[in-house]
Amino acid sequence: MALSRKEVIYIAGLARLKLSEEEIERYTRQLSDILGYVEQLQELDVENVAPMSHVLDIVNVMREDKALPPLDREVVLANAAEHDGRHFKVPRVIKE
């Protein structure tokens, strides 16, 4: 499937891109090539292929989520540039 120059300009507009004439010509060719590859994939018989969520057989490698005792407040606040004994003090970023 070949894209027209007009379609590439429309797509660029949707993406809020300003393309030069050279880019329009290049992207017209490249996007048409990509759509050609997709058309080739649509010709494949995938009737007996099971759906999958990932191409690799992966498992969750995250550790189990366990509740731990809280950190000691004095130890945590010892690393703060400024604190009031209970909270970190940071510069104001929102004006009133």
What is the per-residue pLDDT for 10?
96
What domains does the chain contain, in order, with CATH numbers? 5-42 (1.10.20)
pLDDT band at 82 (very low <50, low <70, confident <90, very high): very high
The Cα–Cα gap between 23 and 11 comes to: 13
Measure the CA–CA gap between 84 and 77, rounded to whole angstroms.
9
Top mean pLDDT of 16-30, 36-50, 63-77 is at: 16-30
Q: Is the pLDDT of residue 59 over 90?
A: no
Nearest to 5 by CA among 22, 19, 25, 32: 25
